[in-house]
Amino acid sequence: MAKIAILSDTLCNQIAAGEVVERPAAVVKELVENSIDADSKKISVNLIQGGRKELRVADNGSGMSPDDALMALERHATSKLRSLDDLQSVQSLGFRGEALPSIAAVSRFELTTREPEAVSGAFIRVEGGVLKDVRETGCSAGTLVTVRDLFYNVPVRRKFLRSVETEMANIADQFVRLCLAHPHIHFQLSHQDRMLYNFPRDKNHEDRILQYLGADSARDLRAFDCASPPYEIHGFAGSPEVQRSNSKSLFVYVNGRPIWDRLMNQSIMRAYDTLIPRGKFPLVVLFLKLPATLVDVNVHPTKREIRFRRPGEIMQLVQTGIRKVLEGARTGHARHLGLPLPNAPGNGLQSPSQVIRERQISLTDSTAPWAGPAAAAPRQMGFPAEPTGEIAWDGPAEQGMTSAPPARICFSKLLVLGQLANAYILLEAPDGLVMVDQHAAHERILYDKLSVGNLGESGTQRLTRSVVLELFPREAAMLRRWMNKLSQVGFEIEPFGPHSFIIQAVPDIFRGQSPEVLLREMLEQAEEEQPGPDWDVCSGLAKSAACHGAVRAGQRLHKEEIRQLLEDLDGTLISATCPHGRPVWHKFTHAEIARIFNRT
């Protein structure tokens, strides 16, 4: 008897279903993507018991003829590809022809469809991959897919399904990600006959994001766009103070396809590198548009993972676009999502997000009591700060802004009360007490000096004793490619064997740092295809240098040192966080202090 046999079509479909249909959320994703590809104007998803008992997706798209509907249930049957050239320039969300047969193989599956010009439609029923019924039927134009008893014939897989609440959370995540990318489609999601999401058709992404996030959360988003042909990006970046605990707050789209890509996520996180703590994630919605020939979407059956032909260029563009809007938000030149700002003209109410901004974001709020010439003079306790004068705007309001840019408020203008535990500088503001972490503040100051300075202009520090650096083959090959660029910024490195190098000098700004550690960290943090040691790679080294050079907690500072520290902090671009994302300062308002003593 032969040892090798060809598997049956039913078994092949069930094996394929293990990759394509992991849980009910995957079924929703595949069916909704098919509806989007069918040029639907409205898509409705109805669930019972988190999609485990029943899942229905209805659309008013182009529909299918009876013959096409039967063919669509065959493996690798699709209307979206005809040749290898089509595969190399995929424009549609689906293209593999695996979703419908895989779903039908592990459920009780029904398909009802009609083309708009047809008199009648077709009804097809499949159970466990076996065709049970085909007949003509009357129905609306479009397609209705009903999936019942998912994994009823694969009990092992059914046991791995989670609770209804968990499955619904995953379904909602997949559903919302598709909704944000296609504002021209009306989406509905209901569970147990209760409407959870209802997104009417909108004109643009901004309106759809407002529908999903709500006005209050959207106030913390700033619009950005950046282009470097043939690439274009646009989207919305959240304030660094709006932090989430996982990467689900990163909504990334490539040519309208929601994707999860490590390099794209890494690019976003690098743009926020010194603004949020490690382990926290910002809220970002990013849309990347590029020629289909420059991206490979045929990587995984779920189609969420992709590969770029030139990833380094895209990473740089993403970082540039987001950094630009973050810097603009700090100086008041970033464009909001389009909503009136709290306390803007015509809005007399203070929103919760405004209260958070007052306490946590920056001391540059134009509504702060000490902003402008009306600020109260500090009481003469401790040693006084310099006289408070009129604070000028950072710059003129941009066209289309909803409010004037914030005033620049200086830490050095506040009354210094002294040090607490030789670690925190206490400042008196007209409406509260401000505590500044002296180590974090000095870290931010030193890091900004390293960041804004050109490595090549900082000079070269020759080593009293050359250092021999031994590397693995990958790092050695990368360092050889980088040697010319490294020499331009102050490194002097020569090959010394197949995988060895001699370091003779380093940039002066890294004086006192171990040259071996510097280069090892630089190479370990770099991507394999990275063309050169850009500042994103060096930023980790700058963080380390700033941390080692900053004043320590527990170190006593003189009055002049405190004043100089506060003046330098005023000159930083971002004073809210240290390079590692930890807060530099915190304010206790008079109201908070009064509550502690039961004076409210």
The two tokens of residue 162 are: 């989670």
Going from the C-alpha of 431 to that of each of 240, 369, 414, the distances in angstroms are 24, 7, 11
Structural contact between residues 245 and 221, judged by C-beta atoms closer than 8 angstroms: no
- Cβ neighbours of 597 (radius 10 Å): 7
Give which of 401, 442, 481 is closest to 585, Cα–Cα. Answer: 442
Q: How many CB atoms lie within 10 A of CB 98?
A: 22
User: What local confidence, expressed as pLDDT, does residue 57 receive?
Assistant: 97
Residues forming CATH 3.30.1540.20 domain(s) in the chain: 407-600
pLDDT digit string (tens) for the chain, length 600 residues = 677 888 777 777 666 666 678 899 999 999 999 999 999 999 999 999 999 999 999 999 999 999 999 999 987 777 776 676 666 667 778 776 788 988 999 999 999 999 999 999 999 999 998 999 999 999 999 999 999 999 999 888 888 888 999 999 999 999 999 999 999 999 999 999 999 999 999 888 988 988 888 777 777 889 999 999 999 999 999 988 788 888 889 999 999 999 988 888 988 988 887 788 778 899 999 999 999 888 888 777 677 788 898 888 898 899 889 988 887 765 554 555 543 333 333 332 233 233 223 333 333 333 333 333 333 333 322 333 333 332 222 333 333 333 333 344 578 889 999 999 989 999 998 888 999 999 988 888 887 776 655 555 667 888 888 999 988 888 888 888 888 878 877 889 999 888 899 999 888 767 767 788 778 877 776 665 555 555 544 565 566 667 766 788 888 899 899 999 998 888 887 777 887 778 888 889 999 999 999 887
Mind giving me the DSSP string for 401-430? -SSPPPB---GGGSEEEEEETTTEEEEEET
CATH code of domain 407-600 = 3.30.1540.20
559, burial (CB in 10 Å: exposed 0-12, middle 13-18, buried 19+): exposed
Q: What are the start and end residues of each CATH 3.30.565.10 domain in the chain?
A: 9-201
Do strands 186-191 and 194-199 pair parallel, antiparallel, or not at all (unpaired)?
A: antiparallel
What letter does residue 456 receive in the DSSP assignment? G
What is the layout of strands, in order, in the sheet containing 121-127? 130-137, 121-127, 108-114, 142-148, 54-59, 42-48, 186-191, 194-199
- Helices 515-525 and 535-549: crossing angle, nearest 10°? 140
Cα–Cα dist 170/24, whole Å: 8
Asked if 150 and 24 touch (Cβ cutoff 8 Å), the reply is: yes
CA distances from 511 to 84, 198, 491 (A): 55, 59, 12
Name the pTM for this structure: 0.67
Alpha-carbon span 2 to 343, nearest angstrom: 80
Neighbours of 46 (CB within 10 A): 18
Cα separation, 354 vs 331, in Å, equals 17
Task: Tell me how far apart the alpha carbons of residues 518 and 397 are, in angstroms, rounded to a whole number.
Answer: 42
pLDDT for residue 81: 64
Beta strands, E only, 312-354 = 335-336
Tell me if residue 50 falls in helix, strand or coil. Answer: helix
| Residues carrying CATH 3.30.230.10, the chain | 206-336
Write down the pLDDT at residue 1.
66
Beta strands 284-289 and 250-254: pairing type?
parallel
Give the whole-angstrom CA distance, residue 92 versus residue 80. 7
Residue 505, beta-bridge partner list: 462, 492
Q: What is the 3-state secondary structure (H, E, C) of 521-550?
A: HHHHHCCCCCCCCCHHHHHHHHHHHHHHHC
**Residue with tokens 């065959």, as numbered in its chain:** 74
Question: What fold does the segment set 9-201 form as a domain?
Answer: Heat Shock Protein 90 (3.30.565)
Give the closest residue to 566 by CA, choosing from 390, 360, 419. 419
What is the number of other CB atoms lying within 10 angstroms of the CB of residue 60? 19
d(CA 339, CA 119): 47
In this structure, what is the dihedral angle of CA atoms 290, 293, 299, 305, given to the nearest 10 degrees? 0
Q: State how far the Cα of 117 lies from the Cα of 513, in Å rounded to an integer.
A: 74
Q: The CATH number of 206-336 is which of 3.30.230.10, 1.10.15.40, 3.30.1490.100, 3.30.930.10? A: 3.30.230.10
Nearest-angstrom CA–CA distance, 386 and 389: 9
Strands (E), 108-185: 108-114, 121-127, 130-137, 142-148
Q: CA 388, CA 410: separation in Å to the nearest integer?
A: 9
Q: What is the pLDDT of residue 398?
A: 34
Among the listed residues 219, 307, 591, 211, the one whose alpha carbon sits nearest the alpha carbon of residue 433: 591
